[in-house]
Every structure is written in structure tokens, then in C-alpha cells.
Structure 1
Amino acid sequence: MARLQILELPEGVNDDRPPFILVIDQMPTDETGFDALRRDLGTPDDLLERIGARAVLVFEDTIDIPANDTSVYLRDGEAEEQAEPQRADERAIQAEEKLKAFMEKRYAIELERRASLTDALGVDRLRDWDDIHNAASGLRKQRGTLAKAIERVNNLHRPVEHRGQVICWECSDYDFPGQTTDSPPVLYDQCATLRALDDRQKQQ
């Protein structure tokens, strides 16, 4: 029968409670038992959100975490008291140390990624992933609005051939039916609006 264990991790600067990972061992190997347990636990993402763990590790073998050993308690009819912890198995200690090192490295990578994203988005590094997602969505919406505005400007300041020259339709106040300009013709490559727009896009 599957067991649920908690492996505590070193606390970080911004942790409001001790971080931990959920370790599930003795996982059923038959399909029926595995599906039943998976239905009870839910998806990994849902499980992480509900219990607040950093990760969930699943094993078919037995994983003994020394900190969770309860065999050292005595119950001889007297008041229960904790005995001196038995010497933990060396392999179990090494496994726990490897798990902790792995999670510490993963947590450091996550913090680095979050810092890189928040710097790129121009938001506080202490923001959570929901805030980062909202900032990215807002930036994407803003870029979409800007792209539509640029498209409208390009359509307005479009090139047109006039008397052997390519001029800017809007800056020259071009009159298509009469094929005349109400203002002095402005060469298309000299359009101040498009040149300013091009400089702005390069800066971004």
C-alpha cells in the first residue's frame, strides 16, 4: 500500500513556512491500484496547489526518510516517551541528502528564472507567478494594440507614384481622382512620420 511522507527542505529568505516535498513510495504496480490512487490524489499540479509542496516524487520501491522514522517510540504500558533515535541506514541518509540537494538546486533555478522574468517585465522580483502571468498578458495585449496602430499609420502614409516619383500619400495630401497634391510632394523615404516610427521600433 502506498505511503505518503514529508521531506522538509531548508528554508529560503522569502519562505513564509518551511518548504517541503511530498514523497509517495510503495506505489502500486498494477494498473487498477495505480489508477485508484491517482484519482484520490488528483493531478500533480492540483496536488501541489492544494498542499503547497515544492514537488511530488513517486517511487515503486520503499524510500525510508530517517526524519520520519517512528520505530523508536516505546509503548510498554507506561507513558510514551521518545527513545534515542536509532542509527539511520547509511543508504537512506545518502538518498535524503541527494533529494535535498536536488530540490535546493531546482529551487535556486526557479528563483533565477523568476528574477529574469520579472526584470524583463519590469515588475517587482517578489511578485508571484500569477502576477508575472498577468504582467506578461498585459504586455502582449499592449503589443497587439501597438501593432494595430502601426498598421493604421502605415496604411495612411502609404507610397504612391506621382510624376515619376514615389511620394507619401498623407504628407503630400494626395488627391487620387485628380492625381494632384494639395501640399508640396514629400518623397516617401523622407516621410517624417514613418522615419520617427521606424526609430521608435528600433529602440524597442
Structure 2
Amino acid sequence: MARLQILELPEGADDDRPPFVLVIDEVAFDNPVYERFVADEELATGLASRVGARAVLVFEDTIDIPANDTSAYAQPAAVLHLDDHEVRSAIATDMNKARRQAGVATIGQRLADERTDIARDMDRLANHKAAITDALGLDRLRDWDDIRNAAAGIRRDREAKTEAVENVRNLHRPVEHRGQTICWECSGYDFPGQTTDSTPVTHDQCSTLRALNAERDETSPSRG
């Protein structure tokens, strides 16, 4: 009756867990397990890879591993007497357990990475919020609704001022009068009579437009 044993190997510096060899002994020459492993080297190699062993060794003789000596116990724990079906069943159970443990480890690592990403994103969001509230002149404890309302108010105010400036520019628009371009509003231009109510002011000397243009130059981004 075949036995399944574990032969632990010396642990190296690069090993994340103790290395071991899977040993199957007392396998009769005509036992399907012996025939399969001897005839198919890739089968042994593949099994070793799946269970994390360095190799799988199959012997017809009895191989006594001192570390697995459990003769002092009523029921051996490290040496199992198994038939061919039980060997395959035990190996399959161990492989499934290893897969489940690997899956749990992968999920745990992914969750840990996600928690790290969330913490990093929350920190960045807090920094962005602080910068926005400072720019708007708000208390940093204000919530996002307050920030949105403040930004909307600034936009409405800017649009109203822009509309007012355009209305002023329209009043001080240029008009051709007796061979020169004058300011409609400053000259008190009368379109039907094509006369002015005051001394004509050339359009480029309109103080209102010059003031508006100076303000626009001050607020416009500098050109490099």
C-alpha cells in the first residue's frame, strides 16, 4: 500500500516558505501510480509545480524519513498509508486547498491596494478642496455645496459685468462724421440730423473706452 510523505529541504535565502519534496514509497511495480510516474516524467513535474514541491519521487521500496517518524503515536500523522485512489484524492485535496489560500491572499492584497488608493485619493481631494476654498475666500470647513454656490455666484457676477461693459462699449461706438471717426456718446451724435450736441470727440480719445481698455490690459494674461 503506497505511502505519501513530505521530505523538507534546507531553506534558502530566497525561499518564502520551507522547500520540500513529495515522496511516495511502497508502490508496487505493477501499481498504476508507479507506472504512470515512471512512464510520464512531465506528470511528476506538473504535480510538483501544482503543489509547490521541488520534486515528486516514487519508490517501490520503503523510504524511511527520520523527520516523519511517528511510531510513538497511536495514529501516524506525517506518514499516510493510502491506496492509489486515496493518493490521488489526497493530492487533489491539497491542491484545492492551496488554490483557495492563493485566491484569498490575492483578494486580500487587492483589497489592501484599493484601501491605499482610496486613502491617497481622499488626501488629494482634501488638498484640492483647501486650494479651491482659499481661492474663493471661503472657510476650509465649507462643504462642496457651498463651494459650488460660490463659484456659480462668481460666474453670474462676471457675466453681468461683461454684459455691462459691452453695453458701455456700444454707447461709445465709433461713427463717421465729416471725415473723421468720432465717439457717438461723448460727441452727443444725432444720427437723423448727423450733427453733434457737443464738440466732437475722436473715437481714439474717448476717455471711457481708454479706461475700459486699460482695465482689460491689466486683467489680461501677459503674453511671453
Question: Normalising to structure 2: TM-score of the pair?
Answer: 0.47
Distance 1:132 1:156 in 2: 37
Which of 185, 188, 193 lines up with 2:200 in the alignment?
A: 185
Which of 169, 174, 187 lines up with 1:159 in the alignment?
A: 174
User: 2:175 corresponds to which letter in structure 1?
Assistant: V
- Aligned: 1:98 with 2:113: yes
- 1:199 CA drift (Å): 2.2
Secondary structure class of the residue paired with 2:185: coil
Partner of 2:152: 137
User: 1:195 corresponds to which letter in structure 2?
Assistant: R
- Aligned: 1:201 with 2:189: no
Structure whose CA Rg is larger: 2
User: 1:134 corresponds to which letter in structure 2?
Assistant: N
Distance 2:113 2:217 in 1: 48
- 1:126 CA drift (Å): 2.4
User: 2:142 corresponds to which letter in structure 1?
Assistant: R
- 1:133 CA drift (Å): 0.7
Deviation sequence 1:72-104 (CA, Å, 0-9, x none)? xxxxxxxxxxxxxxxxx6545533431221011
Partner of 2:128: 113
Partner of 1:122: 137
Alignment RMSD:
2.0
Question: Normalising to structure 1: TM-score of the pair?
Answer: 0.51
Secondary structure class of the residue paired with 2:187: coil
Q: How many residues align?
A: 116
Deviation sequence 1:153-188 (CA, Å, 0-9, x none)? 012111101111111011111122222222222111
Secondary structure class of the residue paired with 1:127: coil
Secondary structure class of the residue paired with 1:166: strand
Distance 2:207 2:138 in 1: 34
Larger % of helix: which? 2
- Aligned: 1:174 with 2:192: no
Which of 149, 169, 186 lines up with 2:164 in the alignment?
A: 149
User: 2:176 corresponds to which letter in structure 1?
Assistant: E
